[in-house]
Structure 1
Amino acid sequence: MNVLCWKCQGIRNPSTVDGLKGIIPLTIPDIVFLSESRCLQRVVERLKREVGLKNFIVVDCDINQNPNGRMSRAGGICLLWKEDVEVSLLSFSKNHIDVWVGGVNSASRWRFTGLYGFSKAEDRHKTWALLPLKVSHLKPSKSDHLSILVEIRSVQVEVRRKKKRWRFEGYWLQDEECGEMVRRGWQSSECVNDFMKVCQKINNTRKVLGEWSKLKFGILKKEIELTRSKLAVFYEKAQGSYREEECKVLQDKLNDLHLHEQQRAKVMWLVDGDQNTSYFHQKVCNRKRKNTIKGLFNEEGVWCSRDSELEEIVLGYYGSLFTTSSPKNMDIFASLFQLVVTSTINEELKEFSQKKKSIVP
């Protein structure tokens, strides 16, 4: 289970929402905690639909009137989580949300407390004393605060690298070169057999499109990742060696790269619309959830979740299913069924098959 925590500095900012949409597909969090949201409940209700999270708890921000008459927002926290995650609220305040994660009788039930630290330096130790955790920061996005990822595992999980499945990307169709790449791949075939020729054409087209996409679109993604990595270095350095000017240059460059990426997909964005984001995200989540095997019971009735255990259970089941038990007296069993293909018909079929083979060049 993954938990994403982010001091987002105002979730009403479109750039912040775009940054969150970019982080969630990469980290696939089950729970998201946002502090300094600077918003009310109705904003979070709209946000959860956009990022594909079903449930939420909100503590509204403070709205104050400044001496100049303008209204300002401060604070605000919220907790969002997936539909298949069970969360029970324990307590909350303007600085924390405390919940149980998991069912009452679940062995893997655990407690999560999302904190929004006090701004005064003399009070900060009180906040961190409640969380004796070693946290890791993700690479920066569109905020000058780093998001935090906490990975929690109830058991040791064996991770196997899976080969990425080839897929035709919809955004390829928005590029004029896509049609030419398909024609180039489809024309290259040297097979004589019609069936094998079609198979080779499909395979060649797939290779051409893959190489073209890597050169055409892969450079921008690598540039964004490289800029995020460089920007992360500045946040990890001590305050004395922190060069704010260079950091700002990298932050502006990252914003420009994100803007260019959005402009490249502008046609598709206008067709699909922002209102479809939740639909597509939920569709992908449902398919992933449907295709995921979290565990199986073995022959002794013990629940197993490790990859090696699952592999052994599946191989054992289908191995016994398709392995003969060498039954005896099969003639008695077969005599119960009416004979359909007689010996004469069987001989005629053999003769026809031999004639067909002699005709084929």
Structure 2
Amino acid sequence: MNCLIWNYQVIVNNRTRYALKSLIQKHKASLVFLSETHCTKLQHQSLLKSTGLSQIAHFDRVDRAGGLALLWDASISVNVRMVDRYFIDAIVKGPDQVEWRFTSFYGHPETKRHHNSWDLLRSLAGDPLERWVVAGDFNEILELGEKSGGRLWNLGQMQAFRQALTNYHLEDMGAAGGSYTWCDSRTKERLDRCTASSTWWAAFSFSRVVHLHPSRSNHVPLLLEVRCVPPGHERRRRQFRFEEMWCTHDGFSHKHQRSRAIWLKEGNRNTRYFHKRASNRRQKNSIKGLFDQEGTWQEFSPGIEKVVLEYFQSVFSSQPSNLVAQDTVLQAISPRNTVSMNASLLAPDTTEDVREALFQMHPSKAPGPDGMSPFFFQKYWDLVGQEISNAVISMLRRMEMLPDLNFTHVVLIPKVKEVTTMSHLRLIALCVVQDCFQSCG
């Protein structure tokens, strides 16, 4: 489902309402939050007809200012819990039948009263494990990079906002598109955003926020795409992964291995911490879509796979070699290996060489395609060591590798917060057996 969040700043004339309806239809928004509507009760009610949505909750303007509205269609269920001058709090159940809490929020516009907004967040905060989204115009920035031009921003204000999100277990969701959501003739700032709890991210890890193009307001509309699977995908069968917890005591949290917090060695000291780290990694490493060579956004699996394939075909395609130039370069290089070093390199591989290579790997690093991490082979070396050594040594001597073993997961690691092109990704390959061969050979 898609949610539209917008500080519209007056929505009482036909042209602005038409612009809103066009956005709702174009992006198939089933839930819409509007702030600073400046609408009376009757004007709010008339929004249903002009937008084509079916239900509305609203807080009417005060002294011709303010006004909030939350609208939704019949495809989702919304249970409004509280309506206030600065927020509308509701429980949402989308087509996937997963319930989550959506608080549409409007931060106090006066700088000296921003602390009131953070106090309000405190009063709204509930169970830290609740699936919760708070979205809207916070009238505050998190860091100096979210502002361009205008007066200097108070560092204490930003710190107070950051601390409020941390205290109430919310994280900024980031956004694709432009860097700012509000502007005037001299200043640009990112005042509008979506924040979410780690448990919401765990349930909807393929979600994203998009800054849409400005339309009849000095605030940019935000589109929140709520997705628990990639667009156009069904849930795939989860691959087998060996868990270290199977070899330890009953109280050990399996999220230790997933969180990769290597410095915290043992014990279920902070289950919530592990859960958050594991969920954050999943969200950060998800590819929501990519631009292809023609600049077209691809967000469905076949399109993304084509973009990746074409990119690496271009990067790794071989070119004709200049053999004369190669010989010239090699002749200019003086040998550095001594006779004894060369003899050591050419010596037959032994079982101890294989063991040494394997035990140099970190036990909890990413497993290979078979789902086995180095921990398994290290833990049960007495049982599987001889068989593994025989296989490795045999293949190294014959200079051949079985096709089933010469296989790897190609993994793309994000280099930036919001991935949109292949240049934003770094390639690594995960193959435990192959790494072992290379270390031995």
TM-score over 0.5 (shorter chain): no
The structure that has the greater radius of gyration is: 1
- 1 or 2 for the larger relative contact order (CA 8 Å, sep ≥6)? 1
TM class by shorter chain equals 0.3 to 0.5
| Between structures 1 and 2, the one with greater helix share | 1
TM-score normalized with structure 2 length:
0.32
TM-score normalized with structure 1 length:
0.38
